[in-house]
Amino acid sequence: MTVDEIKKCLRDFARYGCFQQSKHCRERMQERQVTIDDALNVLLWGQVSEIEYNEMNDNWQCKVTGTDIDGENLVFIAGVWEHCHTVRCITVY
């Protein structure tokens, strides 16, 4: 997948409320007081980088850097499955 394809998947899923989180991501969001609105802001407006294919999970993983709703820096590692079947937050920092 290209950066543009991954951006489109992330933004489409964020717009339609299909934000999925791994257990690890939920724990980190709670620990760091990151809300769903913060996450959606990053997915909608953040920059996508460091794309690599993860053979073990059969998905593309990418780093999404942006800001939360208060303007603080926030980074998500997201897993994107081909053809936008699923987008899942793996971790946040």
Residue 19 pLDDT > 80: no
Cα(52)–Cα(68) distance, integer angstroms: 24
- Predicted pLDDT of residue 84: 63
Q: What CA–CA distances, in Å, run from 92 to 6, 52, 83, 89?
A: 18, 17, 24, 8
Reported as a single tens digit per residue, the pLDDT across 37-89 is 999 899 899 999 999 999 998 889 999 999 999 999 999 999 988 766 778 89
Which domains does the chain show, CATH number per domain? 3-92 (3.30.2310.40)
Record the pTM.
0.85
